[in-house]
Structure 1
Amino acid sequence: MKRPLPLAAATVLCLVLAGCGGSDDQADVVEGDFDGLVSAAQEEGSLDWYSDLPEALIESVATGFEEEYGIEVNYIRSVSSQLGSRFAGEAQAGNPQADVLNIASQGFWEEAVGQGWFSELTDDTVDSLDEWPEEFLYDDTYALINVQPLGIAYNTDTSPVQPQTWEEVADPQLDGRLMMGDTAVVAYSAQYLFLKDTYGDDLLSDYAALDPIVVDSLVPGTQQMVAGEADVAIPSLSSVVQPLIDEGAPLELVIPEDTAGVNQYAGVVEEAAHPNAARLFMSYLLSMEGQERVTAGIAASVLEGVPGAMELPSGYTEIPESDVNDNQDAIDELLDF
């Protein structure tokens, strides 16, 4: 498996090299013949994947796919906003560089489907769709590949409280010591809307009264908390917190039974340069083995019985991105960020 190119370097390289990415000589897609699809994918030899998953999951999935089929996976990883903007620019120019894209933005996918940037997925070319729950394939175009419920992280060495519920986060002892993700990030705002709808406006106002530390991202923010700059951070993901715990950081993550989360979606690019490899990779992502690698103890799967996958909390609620947009001003006013 090739190492990933840095995002900026990859952009420059693709602008310089003629014919990088989408091609007028796109191969025919093999339909209704899985062995034939595998052979065609192996002839293509590689595929390019854009992803905003944690890098450890990307590496695991790419390694598993290469071991299974001998097809090289090249990937570019970035945050959702940058990745979505990059791909949209390429697609609008008629020169997409990715064969498969996954991104945690419902709004992006709704726009992308309308633009015709992604191919329809059928079980004639994506073998695992035969066992995939229909409700988690959207517009016959993109699928939900994992769900990461949001929770509460705290520093076990410094925090005077160990909140187990969202209401316990509003403890006066956390005045000036609560870290919160900025509402500019849709996933954070979705969680705040969930809390507003579930507990009422007062809970967000109580958070605001604690003079929270507001950060653009809780990825570096959680590292700041490890360094003692905060006691509690919300809303937190296992994919962010667990690697630090594994390294010995004094952290704990609690995922309450009532919560929202981050949904990861994936699809095959309509003008993929490696269309057979892209569909084989998509089939792998939706298979039991692929789901084991793409959840790996830090996310849930919509398939039942995936080894090591998280169980979704009983009160898990999906918050549509359109609802977040409709309520953004109210959320900002209550939090007073």
Structure 2
Amino acid sequence: MAALALLLALAATAPAQAEPGDVRTFKAPQTRAAQLRIHGSTDIENFAAVIADYQRLNPGTEVEYSDLVAQDIYARHLQAGPRSADLLISSGMDLQTKLANDGHALAHRSPATAGLPAWSQWRHEAFGISYEPIVIVYNKRLLPAARVPHTRRQLLALLRDPAAKLSGRVGTYDVARSSVGYLLATQDHQLGSMAGALQAALGDNRAVLEERTGPLLDRVARGELALAYNVLGSYAQARIDDGAPLGIVLPEDYTLVLLRTALIPRTAANAAEAGRFLDYLLSPRGQAMLARHVGLQPVLRGPGAPQGPQARDGTRVRALRPIPLGPGLLVYLDGLKRRQFLEAWRSTVQPQRKDGSAVP
């Protein structure tokens, strides 16, 4: 019943009709001996190289990959029944934890999972495969270096400064539609004393709201937005590597670290193959592929390397705060808490008309 209530709550805040995600089948290079169905929130263009490398090691495996937002991964699993995917790979840590907590996950133990830090796996059912700093992204041509905020307090001051002229030129996730955005916003409220003030300042500046990271970064890169708050660092770095005029800030007060998590559903038809793919992702080779082709930072490092989160250049950053897998993520999935949080968020970030509809 709890899962059904959450599913209804997510549906109520999602668009009326979600478009199906991109689905691609990667044929087995040799005679097909195994199949694997993955639902993932990582862009298929980036993840294709990882699948191709796995097939080099396992040429008899055919892989079907569905590119979905985290919210849809959760919802489709609950609706799929016996036609569930074999592996769910999602940036929605809280939703993955909810599935495990409600008995939807198979336990998986292997030498690969045994090496995971305690904060990156839960009950041998939900596993972090990478960590991802949550950052501020800005357009270098629009925001002078002297004005770039390096803490939330500096960001708040910038948003409140009329001379900055940021009205309509800042962006963030629409937390009513984005499960990742919702998770990050609720974490801010638990960690940061100025989360409410920052939320109000975003609203005062008519923040542009998007469901996914890509459109936000596209707008910043084109100069339509000067900066975006609380976005996935890997996507921003990929655009920088391609020449976009973007800069990345890891906030010095604290930088949230999101785990991209994998879970094998209890209804998986090919659970053994899913376990092999998960072990591949956690192997040195798989971690290197995720870093090289997806831009996801390794959750596991070689002997002698520091095991805590690091910046992209490998240095330790004290401000990094990994969001630990576990029951703490379930707090804001409670129906009443979710409704109260979204009502407060809409009243500040997304002002309402008298009829209750959002002001564009």
> What whole-Å deviation, never above 9, does each CA across 1:160-184 have from its counterpart, x for those lacking one?
5322222222312043122222122
2:267 is equivalent to residue 299 of structure 1:
no
2:33 maps to which of 41, 44, 54 = 44
1:275 corresponds to 2:283: no
TM-score, structure 1 normalization:
0.76
Q: State the match for 1:288 in structure 2.
A: 284
**Residue 277 of structure 1, CA deviation:** 1.9
Q: 1:75 to 1:158 in 2, by over 3 A?
A: same
Against the structure 1 CA distance between its residues 206 and 243, is the aligned structure 2 distance closer, same or farther, given a 3 Å change threshold?
A: same
Residues 52-90 of structure 1: per-residue CA shift (max 9 Å, x gap): 123344223212211122233221111111222222211
**Greater shift in the superposed pair: 201-210 or 75-84:** 201-210
What is the RMSD computed on CA atoms of the aligned residues? 3.2
Deviation by residue 1:261-317 (Cα, 9 ceiling, x = unmatched): 432111223333333322211111121211222233833333233999845742233
8 Å contact 1:256–1:313 — kept in the other structure? no
SS in 1 for 2:88: strand
Say which SS state the counterpart of residue 172 (structure 2) adopts.
strand
Structure 1 unaligned spans of 5+: 1-5, 14-41
Task: Work out whether residues 131 and 297 of structure 2, in 8 Å CA contact, stay in contact via their aligned partners in 1.
Answer: yes
Q: Which residue of 2 aligns with 1:101?
A: 88
Q: Does 1:322 align with 2:323?
A: no
Aligned to 1:243: 238
What is the distance in 1 between the residues matched to 2:165 and 2:200? Answer: 14
- Relative to structure 1, the CA distance from residue 334 to residue 100 in structure 2 (aligned partners, 3 Å threshold; closer, same or farther) is same
* Structure 1 position 152, deviation (Å): 0.8
Equivalent position of 1:156 in the other structure = 140
- Tell me, yes or no, if the aligned pair for 2:128 and 2:259 is still in contact at 8 Å: yes
Q: In structure 2, give the amino acid aligned to 1:189.
A: Y
Q: In structure 1, how many angstroms separate the alpha carbons of the residues matched to 2:49 and 2:267?
A: 26
Deviations 1:223-282 (A, max 9, x none): 122222111111122222122222322111111241214321112233333333222111
Identity %: 19
* Matching residue within 174, 193, 198 for 2:192: 198
CA distance in 1, matches of 2:35, 2:192: 46
**Paired position in structure 2 for 1:37:** none
Residue 145 of structure 1 and its aligned partner are, at CA, apart by: 1.0
Picking from 65, 76, 88, the partner of 2:78 is 88
Give the letter for the 2:199 counterpart: L
Residues 295, 178 of structure 1: CA spacing in aligned structure 2 closer, same or farther, 3 A cutoff?
same
Asked if 1:214 corresponds to 2:209, the answer is yes
CA distance in 2, matches of 1:146, 1:8: 23
Aligned to 2:15: none
Give the secondary structure class of the aligned counterpart of 2:268: coil
Partner in structure 2 of residue 35 of structure 1: none
Which letter maps to 2:330?
A: S
Q: Name the counterpart of 1:178.
A: 170
The alignment's TM-score, normalised by the length of structure 2, stands at 0.71
Report how many residues are paired.
Answer: 297
In the alignment, residue 154 of structure 1 is paired with which amino acid? Y
User: Would the aligned equivalents of 1:192 and 1:331 in 2 still touch at CA under 8 Å?
Assistant: no
Counterpart-to-counterpart distance in 1, 2:95 and 2:180:
13
Partner of 2:12: none
Residue range with higher mean Cα deviation, 318-327 or 263-272: 318-327
Q: Does the CA-based 8 Å contact 1:299-1:309 persist in structure 2?
A: no
Partner of 1:25: none
CA distance in 2, matches of 1:134, 1:9: 34
Determine the structure 1 residue equivalent to 2:182: 189
The worse-fitting range, judged by mean Cα deviation, of 252-261 and 106-115 is: 106-115
Q: Which residue number in structure 2 is paired with residue 65 of structure 1? A: 54
**Cα distance in 2 between the residues matched to 1:178 and 1:144:** 30
Cα gap change, 1:215/1:7 in structure 2, threshold over 3 Å: closer, same or farther?
closer
Q: Is the 8 A contact 2:206 2:349 kept in 1?
A: no
Q: Is the 8 A contact 2:42 2:67 kept in 1?
A: yes
Greater alpha carbon shift after TM alignment, 240-249 vs 108-117: 108-117
Per-residue CA deviation, residues 118-141 of structure 1 (Å, 9 max, x unaligned), is 321122xxx423433355331221
